[in-house]
Amino acid sequence: MDLTENQNYLLIIFASLIAILFVKLLLPSKSNKNKRLPPSIKSSIPIIGGLVKFMKGPIPMIREQYAKLGSVFTVNMINRKITFFVGPEVSGHFFKAPESDMSQQEVYQFNVPTFGPGVVFDVDYSIRQEQFRFFTEALRVTKLKSYVDQMVSEAEEYFSKWGESGTVDLKYELEHLIILTASRCLLGREVREKLFDDVSALFHDLDNGMQPVSVLFPYLPIPAHRKRDRARARLAEIFASIIQSRKASGQPPEQDMLQSFIDSRYKDGRPTTEAEVTGLLIAALFAGQHTSSITSTWTGAYMLRHKNFFTAAVEEQKDILKRHGEKIDHDILAEMDVLYRCIKEALRMHPPLIMLLRQSHSDFTVTTKEGKVYDIPKGHIVATSPAFANRLPHIYKDPDRPSKSPHSLNRSYDPDRYAPGREEDKAAGQFSYISFGGGRHGCLGEPFAYLQIKAIWSHLLRNFEFELISPFPENNWNAMVVGIKGEVMVRYRRRKLTVD
Residue 323 C-beta: closest distance to ligand HEM, Å: 27
Q: Which residue stretches of 325-473 are H helix? A: 330-334, 337-349, 386-389, 406-412, 424-427, 446-463
Query: For residues 288 and 300, which CB has a smaller minimum distance to ligand HEM in the complex?
Result: 288
Q: Which residue stretches of 33-109 are H helix? A: 49-55, 58-69, 92-96
Beta strands in 241-380 (DSSP E): 356-360, 364-367, 373-376
Q: Which residues pair with 500 in a beta bridge?
A: none
- Residue 385: C-alpha distances to residues 307, 355, 472 (Å): 30, 4, 24
Residue closest to 365 by CA, chosen among 76, 93, 71: 93
- Residue 21: C-alpha distances to residues 47, 51, 82, 401 (Å): 8, 12, 16, 41
Residue from the set 178, 346, 444, 461 that interacts with ligand HEM by CB under 6 A: 444
Q: Does 58 bind ligand HEM (CB under 6 A)?
A: no
Query: For residues 183 and 291, which CB has a smaller minimum distance to ligand HEM in the complex?
Result: 291
Taking contact as CB under 6 A, which single stretch among the options 45-53, 65-73, 268-276, 434-442 is the one that binds ligand HEM?
Answer: 434-442
Residue 268 C-beta: closest distance to ligand HEM, Å: 21
Residue 441 C-beta: closest distance to ligand HEM, Å: 3
Residue from the set 134, 364, 448, 492 that interacts with ligand HEM by CB under 6 A: 448
**Contact by Cβ (8 Å): 78, 17:** yes
Cα–Cα distance measured from residue 171 to residue 301, given in angstroms and rounded to the nearest whole number: 9
Q: Does 483 bind ligand HEM (CB under 6 A)?
A: no
* HSE-CB for 137 with a 13 A CA cutoff: 16
Tell me which residue has its CB nearest to ligand HEM.
445
Residue 436 C-beta: closest distance to ligand HEM, Å: 5
Cα–Cα distance measured from residue 131 to residue 270, given in angstroms and rounded to the nearest whole number: 12
Binding mask of the shown chain, residues 132 to 151, with x at each position contacting ligand HEM by CB under 6 A = x--x----------------
Length of the chain: 500
Q: Does 436 bind ligand HEM (CB under 6 A)?
A: yes
List binders of ligand HEM among 65-104 (CB under 6 A).
104
**Contact by Cβ (8 Å): 237, 274:** no
Q: Which amino acid is at 322?
A: K
Residue 133 C-beta: closest distance to ligand HEM, Å: 10
Query: For residues 225 and 438, which CB has a smaller minimum distance to ligand HEM in the complex?
Result: 438
Residue from the set 38, 58, 188, 288 that interacts with ligand HEM by CB under 6 A: 288
Residue from the set 181, 299, 435, 475 that interacts with ligand HEM by CB under 6 A: 435
User: Within 10 Å of residue 51's Cβ, how many Cβ atoms?
Assistant: 19
List binders of ligand HEM among 292-311 (CB under 6 A).
292, 295
Q: Does 110 bind ligand HEM (CB under 6 A)?
A: no
Q: Does 443 bind ligand HEM (CB under 6 A)?
A: yes
Query: For residues 230 and 441, which CB has a smaller minimum distance to ligand HEM in the complex?
Result: 441
Cα–Cα distance measured from residue 354 to residue 113, given in angstroms and rounded to the nearest whole number: 22
Q: Is 443 annotated as a binding residue?
A: yes
Binding positions for ligand HEM, rule: CB under 6 A: 104, 132, 135, 284, 287-288, 291-292, 295, 351-353, 356, 435-437, 441, 443-445, 448-449
